[in-house]
Structure formats: C-alpha cells, structure tokens
Amino acid sequence: MAKVLLVDDDDDVRYTIAKLLTRAGHDVVEAENGRVALDRIADDIAVVVSDLIMPEVEGVELFAKIKAARPDMPVIVISGGGRIGAAEYLSSVHAMGAEATFVKPLDEAAFLETVARLAG
Amino acid sequence: MVDAIAVPDRRASDHYSGHRLVEYARRTRRLIYALSLALAVIITTALPAEVYFNGKAVLEARAHTEARSVANTLSRFISRDPQLWMFHDDGLQAILADGVHDHEPGEAHDTIVRDRAGEEIFRSGTGTSGKSSIVVREQLHDGINPAGTVTLIYPTRRLISDTLFALAIGSGFGIALMVFINVLPLRAVNRLQNQIESDQQRLGAYATRVTLQSERLEAEVRARKAMEDTVAQAQKLKAMGTLLGGIAHSINNYLVPITTLTRMVRDDLPRDADSRADLDRVIRSAEGAGSVMRDVLDFTRTRDAADNVTDLVGSVARTIALAEAATPSNITVKQFLPDAACPVRLKESDIQTLMLNLISNASDAIGQDGGQIEIEIAEHGPFGVPLDLPRDLAPGAYVRLRVADNGGGIDAENLTRIFDPFFTTKRVGEGTGLGLSVTYGLVTGVGGGIYVHSDGRTGTRFDLYLPKLSGVEAPAVVAETDVPISKEA
C-alpha cells in the first residue's frame, strides 16, 4: 500500500503499468513527462517508476533531479531501449544509484516484487 | 609512405645498345683475326724469293724490276753468308752491267758484279764446288728492257733454314700485329662488358627493389582494403543498430500493454474460460517479439565500460560444459584455455550468450558428417610474443577468444553480411539471424573486435578480441536487476 509516482510519456504504457500497480494495491500518481513528475513528487511518494526516454525532461535528468532533491527516494527506471545509447542510459542510471532497472516489456512479477520491496 | 620508383629508362636502352656494341666488337675482332692471319700469310709468303723445296730458290725480276734491285736482292742473300755463294751459270750467261762473263762449269770465280753505272753489286766469295750457284740472267738492251731473271741456287739446308726463318719472322710479325691490333679493341670490349655487367647488376637490384616495393604496396592495398571493409561493415552495423534500436524502442513500448494487459485479462477470466488458451497464444507471441527485440538491443548496445567484470576463462569453460551436452556426439569440442583467470568487462550471461552462439553456429556448419570445434583463449602468441592484433583495433591489451570449426566454411559474400541483423542462411524457423549480431554487439560494446576467417571450403574461425583488464581489478559483484522477463513458452 504505497504511493507510486509513475512517469511515462506513452499513455498506453502508463495506463497498463498504473493498472498493474493499482491491482497490486498501490496508489499511483501518474505523470506524462519529467516536468510534470517533478511537480507531483511529494513526501508521501514511496517509489518512483520512471521511463527513460521522454520529452520535456529526459529520464536521466529527472532521475538526477529526484536524487538531488530526495536522496533516499527509491527510483525504478524502465526502458524500451533504443534511440542512440538508450541502453547505456539504463546502466548509467544504474551506476548513478537507481535502485532497479527494467526493460520493456515488463516481467510483471519481478517488477511488482521490486516495487513492493522498495516501497516497504 | 611509398617511395617513388625511378625506373632507369635510359640505362635500359644503354643496356640494350651495349649488347649490340658487344656484338659489333665480336664481329670486329673476328674480322681483325682474319685480317691478321691473312697479313701473316702474306708476309710469310712475300719473301724476297719464291721458295721451293726442291732445293732451288728462284728470284725473278720481272719486267718492271730493275737489274739494280735484282742485284740488291742477290747481294743481300750473298752478303749474309758470302763464302757459301758462288756463281755457277751452268753454261748460261750472266748478263751484267759491265759486260758478259762466261764461266766454265765448276770453275771458281772471284767475281765482282757491277751494275750499268759501274757500281759494284756484289763480289763473289771463294767458291770451290758447283753444288751451289747463282745464275743471273739479265737482258738489258740499252736500258730499254730492264727485265731479267736471276736464279739463285743454294743448298737445301740453307733453303729450309731460310724458309723457316722467313716463316718465323712473318708469322711472328703477324701475331704481333694481331695482338697489337686486338689489344685495344679487346680492352674496349672488356670495358663495355664490365659496364654492361655492372648495369645488369644495378638493374637487377632495381628490379628487386621494385618487386619488394610492389609487394609492399600490394600488402598495403590488401590491408587497407581489409580495414576499409571492416570499417564499412562497422558503419553499416552501427547504422543498422541505430535504426533497429529505434524500432525496438517503439515495439517494446507497444508490447507493454499487449503482454501485461493480456496477462491481466487472462488472469481475470474464469479458470475454465475457452479464451484463456487464446490469450496465452497472444502472450506467447508478444513474448516472442519481446525476445527478438532484446536480441536486437543486445546488438545495438554499447556497454558501459564499468558495469561488469567476469573471468573469461571460467565463463567460457562453464559455457563449453553447458554446450557439450547439447552438441551432437560426432562433434568433438577441444578447448585450449589458460590456467589463470582473465577478467573482461562482460557479464557471465553475455559470455554465455556469445559462446553458445558461436558453438551452435560451428556445430551447424559441421553438420551431419561430424567434425571438431576448437576453442582457445590466448593472451599472447607463441613463446610469449604479443598477439598479432587486427589493424582497426584500438591499441591496448587484448585477450583473444578463438572458436574454430572444420565445417563447410562460409563463402566471401556471406562473410561480409555475417554480422548483419536478421541475416541468415538457415531455413525459416531454424535461426533468427540475430545470434552473431548479438555476439558482435556484445564484443564491440566493450571496445573489442570480432573477426571471421574462412576460405569458403575448410572451416570457419571466429577471433574475438576483448580488452584485457589488469589482474588486480577484483571482479565486482553487480546485481543483475535488468534481467529480462522469463522466457516461458
């Protein structure tokens, strides 16, 4: 029962993951890009789930800003890979301290297990 | 840098005309020999007398010969050995300038011969016998016809010695002349020959240099061609990677709702609902698509240099053990692995992936007839010499992982496309064409290089060069949180 901030620019993906999380009993705050996510991040957010490649504020930038403002906030980064060097971003954010990274399409069980663990 | 090659055209033509000169010189020499010989013969025979071996020497003063010269000749002979000579006219007349002498046969004379001017031509010695004689016949009719004949008769011994003497003088002179005449042209010819020989040597040296340089040029051209090919291939693969990466990103995003929502819908359905099986099919297909996309991403991936450290030797050994179980029994896997660990910047799962790809390809290439796969890890060449690195690799320390099979080989055309994503020579359903692309991506992603060699007939060899980490770096334990979703069928 934790509050999860879900950031993804793709409506269908966001809808899907939100539904997955809601069904698992989490409260989901959605943001369609990094800028909105920064507005909506609040004290009661337990975990951030963020896409990596997004308009306005890129995932890596968002990640860096969240970690700067809230060093203890767990962040799970998901990515479909692609673009140039997207996979590098994934390992970069991992190196920068992302608590977990997942590739799309998701391994739901592992994803939910990680969210629960980090929220707990 | 290629040296300019100066081909000495002028020398080449000199060389050619030199041959002609030598030929001319040879002909000239033969001509000179012949001339000298002829000269020697002429000198030998042009004695003051015609010589016969019957013991008579006849000197004829023909119509144009004056009595004086006849007499001079006589006197030359006689004065050489005066006591030997006697006038003995055998009843013939010696017509002399101062009158006609009549001699009795066998009579010894003390004769003074004078010419018409009264000059003494010769004086005979004190002859005794008539064995030798000189007969001088000269007809002078008031100086109108000075022709006359002088016949010298002298002993055979004398004749032979004189003849030999004349021959000796003549041939000696001839030979001397021949030598003299020959020395100068011979020296010229020898000089010419020496010049030609040294030119030939120089030309030979030039030819050797030209050959060496052209060989070096050819090698250079080949190496550049190979490097251009490699660079072109790398560029092509990079472009493909960018394209496929973009595609993969989109498709992966589309796959999130498809797989996740379908699973949720399926799980919502009653256990016995007919459509569960259909949804399972949808999920399987979506997962299949996801799996292909992960391979594509593996191909496009440039790895973060710091993310993983694994012992290549251990990983490869474990993968071989794993693969041997799945390898047909008529294929022998030989491994040549060093004892010491060899850390590289790859995950164990990556090494497993690339090794399984290479082994499975090798075993497919070998086919039904059986064969052998050799797997070798080398940190240096034989006797500790450094590895011979491909030219397009960045300088540095590398470890070489080699997988070689003795199967059918790969022809040149397919070799250029072997790492292309989705390129396969296998039948539909037998291979996705991503295995070697993934392997390529894994190796180049950590700054390594992968090279394939095959003559198209007798086997294929893959050489993977992976940057070597120094032994002091302890393998870091990295949690593999980005494990792909499970591949349940």
Cβ separation of A104 and B253 shorter than 8 Å? yes
Please answer whether residues B308 and B347 qualify as being in contact, where contact means their C-beta atoms are separated by less than 8 angstroms.
Answer: yes
Is 50 exceeded by the pLDDT of residue B385?
Answer: yes
Sheet holding A3-7, edge to edge: A27-31, A3-7, A45-51, A75-79, A100-103
Please tell me which residue of chain A has the smallest CA distance to B288.
Answer: A105
Cβ separation of A103 and B264 shorter than 8 Å? no
Mean pLDDT for chain B overall: 69
* From B260, B294, B304, residue closest to A20, measured CB to CB: B260
Is 80 exceeded by the pLDDT of residue B265?
Answer: yes
Please give the pLDDT value at position A16: 95
Cβ–Cβ contact B285 with A under 8 A: no
SS3 track for A40-96: HCCCCEEEEEEECCCCCCCHHHHHHHHHHHCCCCCEEEEECCCCCCHHHHHHHHHHH
Please give the pLDDT value at position B80: 46
Cβ separation of A105 and B252 shorter than 8 Å? yes
Smallest Cα–Cα separation from B33: which of B168, B186, B170?
Answer: B186
* From B261, B290, B301, residue closest to A87, measured CB to CB: B301
Cβ–Cβ contact B411 with A under 8 A: no
Is 50 exceeded by the pLDDT of residue B467?
Answer: yes
Which residues in chain B touch residue A88, judged by CB atoms under 8 angstroms apart? 301-304
The radius of gyration of chain A from alpha carbons, rounded to an integer in Å, stands at: 13
Cβ–Cβ contact B480 with A under 8 A: no
* From B249, B293, B294, residue closest to A86, measured CB to CB: B249
* From A17, A95, A108, residue closest to B304, measured CB to CB: A95
pLDDT (tens digit, 9 = 90+) per residue, A100-114?
888 888 889 999 999
∠ CA B109-B111-B112, rounded to 5°: 175
* From B300, B307, B484, residue closest to A103, measured CB to CB: B484
Is 60 exceeded by the pLDDT of residue B86?
Answer: no
Q: How many other CB atoms sit within 10 Å of the CB of residue A119?
A: 18
Smallest Cα–Cα separation from B186: which of B33, B39, B25?
Answer: B25
Structure tokens of B74?
């006589």
What is the C-alpha to C-alpha distance for residues B291 and B438, in angstroms, rounded to an integer? Answer: 12
Please give the pLDDT value at position B301: 61
Please give the pLDDT value at position B475: 43
Residue A88 distance to chain B (closest CA, Å)? 6
pLDDT (tens digit, 9 = 90+) per residue, B276-305?
999 999 999 999 888 888 777 776 665 444
Q: Which residue has the higher pLDDT, B361 or B471?
A: B361
Q: How many other CB atoms sit within 10 Å of the CB of residue B297?
A: 26
Is 70 exceeded by the pLDDT of residue B108?
Answer: no
Cβ separation of B481 and A114 shorter than 8 Å? yes
Cβ separation of A81 and B248 shorter than 8 Å? yes
- Residue owning tokens 């993969």: B248
Smallest Cα–Cα separation from B316: which of B429, B168, B464?
Answer: B464
Please answer whether residues B96 and B136 qualify as being in contact, where contact means their C-beta atoms are separated by less than 8 angstroms.
Answer: yes
Alpha-carbon separation of residue B405 from A86, B373, B413, B430, B433 (angstroms): 36, 4, 19, 20, 19
Please give the pLDDT value at position B148: 37
Cβ–Cβ contact B483 with A under 8 A: yes
pLDDT (tens digit, 9 = 90+) per residue, B415-442?
888 888 777 776 655 666 778 888 888 8
Average pLDDT for residues B251-261, to the nearest whole number? 92
Please tell me which residue of chain A has the smallest CA distance to B244.
Answer: A82
Please answer whether residues B36 and B174 qualify as being in contact, where contact means their C-beta atoms are separated by less than 8 angstroms.
Answer: yes
